[in-house]
Amino acid sequence: MDAKTKFMITNSNFNFKENYPLVLELPFSEHIEELRQRLFHIVWIILFLTCLTFFEVKIIVQILELPVNNVKFFQLSPGEYFVSTVKISFYTGLLFASPFIIGQLILFLLPGLTDKETKIILPLLLSSLCLFGAGLFFSYYVLIPAALNFFLNYSSDVIEPFWSFDQYFEFILVLFYSTGLAFQVPIVQVLLGFLNLVSAQQMFSVWRYVLLISTIIGAIITPSTDPLTQLLLSLAIVILYFSGASILFLIKK
């Protein structure tokens, strides 16, 4: 070892990891085996939480029925309610397993990421999970009551509200997941910004198109046809869009 190399290593400002990276690559077969094991753990945790939820599914059913207290539900066939509870248990188990799924994804990707990529990917994955949860709360407390009350008030004078529980659950399920996906707009914006495809200034400059596109998206992904629900979802998308652009602007600055 010459004097120059010795000086560089002993110097506190010299990053040995960056200048002499130690590359230990696993064979492709081991990556596949690791992925298989993690998928196996994910499937088992989803099944376990689904079975656990199924034993207390009546509590979840009562929670889902809370937005409409003045409606009587019925089942069209003897096994309709049972099939509905199985679907409710599965989607609830999938929802509760999402932090574990995110954790498994992080553990699989982490060894292959650089320090810079780790600082970006980990917060984005956690933020995506939080935004999806926020979308569920927004859907449950704002969109679903607004849509159901609109339909109830519209037909209150001529039709008695008797709803199929299975169709009601499918309605709110679509609204839940469409809203959760719509709340991922800031994550997409930050990713596009870090890839240098679009800047924050460009995002702010196309605000007229954003208003138009958010209105179209709100009309497409909402399962109901009432204008109030579409307007609320479109407004939420606009707020999320400008929030994502502002976050990207602050990060880049």
pLDDT band at 22 (very low <50, low <70, confident <90, very high): very low
The tokens of 247 are what? 């976050």
The confidence score (pLDDT) of residue 143 equals 85
Q: Who wins on pLDDT, 78 or 5?
A: 78
pLDDT of residue 226: 67
pLDDT at 224: 60
Tell me the pLDDT tens digit for each residue of 95-126: 888 888 887 887 777 776 677 767 777 788 88
- Tell me what pLDDT residue 26 has: 59
Distance, in Å, from the CA atom of 148 to the CA atom of 75, rounded to the nearest integer, reads 19
User: In which band, very low, low, confident or very high, does the pLDDT at 89 lie, cut at 50, 70 and 90?
Assistant: very high
Beta carbons within 10 angstroms of residue 22's beta carbon:
6
Could you tell me the pTM of the whole model? 0.72
Over pLDDT 90: what percentage of the chain? 9
Q: What average pLDDT is seen over the chain?
A: 80
**Is 196 in a helix, a strand, or coil?**
coil
Q: Per mean pLDDT, which range of 1-10, 105-114, 142-151 is the poorest?
A: 1-10
pLDDT value at residue 78 = 82
DSSP conformational letter for 162: E
pLDDT at 8 over 80: no
Does residue 132 surpass a pLDDT of 80? yes
- Compare 118 and 81 and report the one with higher pLDDT: 81
**Of 15-29, 52-66, 95-109, minimum mean pLDDT range:** 15-29
3-state secondary structure of 72: strand
Tell me the residue type at 202.
Answer: Q
224-240 residue pLDDT tens:
666 777 888 888 889 99
> Above 70 in pLDDT, residue 77?
yes
Alpha helices in 76-138 (DSSP H): 80-109, 115-138
Two tokens, residue 206: 């196309």
**Per-residue confidence at 28, pLDDT binned at 50, 70, 90?**
low
Task: State how far Cα 17 lies from the chain centre.
Answer: 35
Q: Is the pLDDT confidence value at 156 over 80?
A: no
